[in-house]
Chains A and B, each alone.
Chain A
Amino acid sequence: MNVSPLGLSASALPCPIPAQRCRVNSGQLLSACRLAWERGGALVALWASDERDRARGFSVRVLLRDGDGLTLLEHTLPDEGARYPDLSPIFPAANRMQRAAFDLVGAQCDADDQRPWTWQAAWPIDRFPLQRDFEVSPTWEPGQEDYPFVRVAGDGVHEIAVGPVHAGTIEPGHFRFQVVGEKVLRLEERLGYAHKGIEKRFESLSLRDGYRLAGRVSGDSTVAYAWAYAQAVESIAADDPPPRAGWLRALCLERERIGNHLGDLGYLGNDGGFAFGHSQFSRLREDVLRLNEHAFGHRLLMDVVVPGGVARDLRADDSALMRQQVASLERELAVLRDIYDEHAGLQDRFRGCGEVTRELAMKLGLTGFAARASGVPDDLRCDFARTPYDTLGVRRATRADGDVAARVAVRFDETVESLRLVDAILAALPDGDIAATLPEAPSSRLAIGCAEGWRGPVFIALESGSDGTIRRCHPHDPSWQNWPVIEHAVIGNIVPDFPLINKSFNLSYSGHDL
């Protein structure tokens, strides 16, 4: 984004894709966000950092994305009393990020909605865990908050409260439905139950070791997070991994995408009343995970991507096994796709269910495969292709309908494309080292890493401290953008379709709650 019309000067931001950073006052913050919105840009992430030890109060950081790349706006709040402008009128997705930034850092936003978001009474409301002088007291007991849900009144309207312990084997969160008959009038999400202090924990780790924690921000996206983290460390150290490592990382990322889409396609069949789908797809997913373990030593590929490269090389005979698996999965997928497409009962559940129009998707900043199913074609692998995606040429999967059927179709298309990519990677895998020794990381350097995970783009903002420590690390999951969209997608649908709609997005709780 060209920021010079705003009278701003930008400096380079270390990142694998084009990125810049600029300091802004509150007026410039608003006008830069408006300019980005007018140019079709989107809010990627908003977080804050305690800079009082540098006599700079609190820094509010707003990461924007447009066709040119990333722009990081940095706004300084001189003290705890200062406020920054509410960005949610421009980017509605900012609402929860602003509330979380207050809960964790104490940076105050000038917004109407001052409800807590991440905070749920586990620590006093006037203490902020990511302030550098924060100290834990052993006397703090887990408490309960009285969250002001918005209620709908009227004849026959009733409320259904679900969670945080759910009926299925899934993560914890609370859903509050306002319902008339079986029709959903309103859904309000309450998340934060899986908040376990990940950002604070990063600050006790070294830059080199942080990849293990990054790989556990959201266990289903471990490769995407570890890769984004490794990129950030490598950008700080101004070094690149060897080519073979880049290709092996992409191999793992695509296998992660295949595994997750296969699992979800099965559950989508199951939630549509078609248990056959679950038994077939869960079998295929298991085959993928078993070969992951055989080849890389871990079923979910945790700790394979490390700063500097990858931790394990791929043996030639495992490469052959993977190519055989690609061929067999392509055959199986074609059969199962026909069965799903021709199953009237399943299609009846999928079509027109949980619709998100392109206009709504753009306004709310929907991202990842769910956005591609609503006609927003963004994909980091295509838009800012780096090794090896620049040579592989990823074919975007998009649909226009934005319903469960469209998200299922995009998942099928992306699985097929990832299988093609896995085969292409294995056919052209360069020889050489799998890891480089990184030079000493300079202190006080901020860098961004990013990867298009199966759910959507994952970002890591990482700032080095002295002697190879982490000063601040903010992981950003696409679920931040996508959770609020589900509240809209279910309006007018019936309660029993909620599990299906929810699963068609399958968002992360842990990656969002941190």
Chain B
Amino acid sequence: MLHILHQIARTGIKSETAPTPAEEMIVVARLQKTILRTLGRALTIRHVDAGSCNGCELEIQALTNPYYNLEGIGIRFVASPRHADMLLVTGPVSKHMAIALKRTYDATPEPKLVVAVGDCGCTGGIFGQSYASLGGVASVIPVDVAIPGCPPSPRALLQGILAAISAHAPPVAAQADRPAVEPTLRSPDAPDTP
């Protein structure tokens, strides 16, 4: 036990300051302030590997190391889409994962933010579209934020995740481009602006 305490003390605090949200990663801006109010200061994420090479998974896992201290800024990964505010989806979406991805999306409660991760999640990347691959995540479910990179660094991942819940995001201009989902917020009586 003393060894463990000594090692913890010797390691010290490694956590770094969170980066600023990367607004350029926003694909479709939504009712940001309402989403923020709904989520409060906590965000829960369900990761879905829809067919990636595992490179993006390694960097998503890195978010839980002490440097990025995800839980310290109120974000945590959960085991079920039913507990999640956001889906973090890597790609390309293989045809064999398309149904599982749709079902995961359907199981996620509104406002169900979707973040597409990596070049493959954004466009299909090097695997593209084929008899076995549908390409980017947006070909199967609506995407709010797309984080490019092969794989994106943990810092870029954080910037994209924060952009999806950023109060500074541009006002909703592209709602019409999001036909599949009409956000039904958990507090429907709350106005969009205070």
Which residues of A are at the interface with B, using a C-beta cutoff of 8 A? 120, 122-123, 129, 134, 136, 140, 142, 144, 164-165, 167-172, 192-198, 200-201, 212-213, 216-220, 222, 263, 276, 278-280, 282-283, 285-286, 289, 293, 299-300, 302, 335-336, 338-339, 342, 508-510, 513
Chain B residue contacts of A293, Cβ below 8 A? 153
Tell me how far the C-beta of A228 lies from the nearest C-beta in chain B, rounded to whole angstroms.
15
Find the B residue at minimum CB distance from A200: B130
Supposing A167-B79, A220-B55, A220-B58 touch, asked if A283 and B94 sit within 8 A by C-beta, the answer is: no
Find the B residue at minimum CB distance from A339: B3
Supposing A165-B104, A197-B130, A299-B59 touch, asked if A510 and B95 sit within 8 A by C-beta, the answer is: no
Is the CB–CB distance between B55 and A222 below 8 Å? Answer: yes
Is the CB–CB distance between B11 and A283 below 8 Å? Answer: yes
Is the interface on chain B under 10, 10 to 19, 20 to 34, or 35 or more residues?
35 or more
Find the A residue at minimum CB distance from B80: A167
Give residues of chain B (54-89) contacting chain A, Cβ–Cβ below 8 Å.
Answer: 54-62, 64-67, 77, 79-81
Is the CB–CB distance between A196 and B59 below 8 Å? Answer: no
Which residues of B are at the interface with A, using a C-beta cutoff of 8 A? 3-4, 7-8, 11, 14, 47-62, 64-67, 77, 79-81, 92, 94-101, 104, 126-128, 130-134, 150-151, 153
Tell me how far the C-beta of A258 lies from the nearest C-beta in chain B, rounded to whole angstroms.
14
Chain A residue contacts of B65, Cβ below 8 A? 279, 282-283, 285-286
Contact check: which of B60, B96, B126 meets A194 at CB < 8 Å? B96
Chain A residue contacts of B56, Cβ below 8 A? 219
Is the CB–CB distance between B58 and A263 below 8 Å? Answer: yes
Chain B residue contacts of A336, Cβ below 8 A? 7
Find the A residue at minimum CB distance from B77: A169
Q: How far is the CA of A300 from the CA of B151 in the complex (A)?
A: 9
Q: How far is the CA of A352 from the CA of B49 in the complex (A)?
A: 32
Chain B residue contacts of A286, Cβ below 8 A? 62, 65, 67
Chain A residue contacts of B153, Cβ below 8 A? 293, 299
Task: For the complex of A and B, list the 9 residue pairs with the smallest distance between their C-beta atoms, beginning with the closest.
Answer: A219-B55, A122-B95, A282-B65, A197-B132, A167-B79, A219-B53, A142-B98, A197-B130, A219-B54
Tell me how far the C-beta of B84 lies from the nearest C-beta in chain A, rounded to whole angstroms.
11
CB < 8 Å A-B pair total: 159
Chain A residue contacts of B3, Cβ below 8 A? 335, 338-339, 342
Q: How far is the CA of A217 from the CA of B80 in the complex (A)?
A: 28
Is the CB–CB distance between B97 and A194 below 8 Å? Answer: yes
Contact check: which of B50, B96, B101 meets A120 at CB < 8 Å? B96
Is the CB–CB distance between B128 and A201 below 8 Å? Answer: yes
Is the CB–CB distance between A194 and B52 below 8 Å? Answer: yes
Find the B residue at minimum CB distance from A194: B51
Q: How far is the CA of A509 from the CA of B97 in the complex (A)?
A: 13
Q: Would you give 11 A-B contacts (Cβ < 8 Å), ordered by A? A: A122-B94, A165-B104, A169-B77, A193-B96, A195-B51, A197-B133, A282-B64, A282-B65, A300-B151, A335-B7, A510-B52
Find the B residue at minimum CB distance from A123: B131
Is the CB–CB distance between A279 and B96 below 8 Å? Answer: no
Q: How far is the CA of A279 from the CA of B69 in the complex (A)?
A: 10
Q: How far is the CA of A286 from the CA of B11 in the complex (A)?
A: 14
Contact check: which of A129, A167, A172, A339 meets B100 at CB < 8 Å? A172
Q: How far is the CA of A92 from the CA of B14 in the complex (A)?
A: 48
Chain A residue contacts of B64, Cβ below 8 A? 278, 282
Is the CB–CB distance between B8 and A276 below 8 Å? Answer: yes
Of the listed residues A198, A216, A300, A302, the one surrounded by the most CB atoms of chain B closer than 10 A to its CB is: A216
Is the CB–CB distance between A196 and B77 below 8 Å? Answer: no
Contact check: which of B57, B101, B151 meets A169 at CB < 8 Å? B57
Apart from A164-B97, A193-B100, A335-B3: 4 A-B pairs, beta carbons within 8 A: A169-B60, A201-B126, A222-B55, A282-B65
Find the B residue at minimum CB distance from A172: B49
Is the CB–CB distance between A196 and B92 below 8 Å? Answer: yes
Tell me how far the C-beta of A119 lies from the nearest C-beta in chain B, rounded to whole angstroms.
9
Chain A residue contacts of B126, Cβ below 8 A? 201, 212-213, 216
Chain B residue contacts of A196, Cβ below 8 A? 51, 92, 94, 127, 130, 132-133
Is the CB–CB distance between B58 and A300 below 8 Å? Answer: yes
Q: How far is the CA of A299 from the CA of B80 in the complex (A)?
A: 29
Contact check: which of B59, B67, B96, B131 meets A129 at CB < 8 Å? B131
Tell me how far the C-beta of B87 lies from the nearest C-beta in chain A, rounded to whole angstroms.
10
Find the A residue at minimum CB distance from B63: A169
Of the listed residues A196, A200, A216, the one surrounded by the most CB atoms of chain B closer than 10 A to its CB is: A196
Contact check: which of A201, A302, A508 meets B130 at CB < 8 Å? A201
Is the CB–CB distance between A142 and B7 below 8 Å? Answer: no
Supposing A142-B95, A171-B52, A219-B56 touch, asked if A282 and B131 sit within 8 A by C-beta, the answer is: no
Is the CB–CB distance between B54 and A282 below 8 Å? Answer: no
Find the A residue at minimum CB distance from B92: A196
Chain A residue contacts of B81, Cβ below 8 A? 165
Chain B residue contacts of A193, Cβ below 8 A? 51, 94, 96-97, 100
Is the CB–CB distance between B127 and A140 below 8 Å? Answer: no
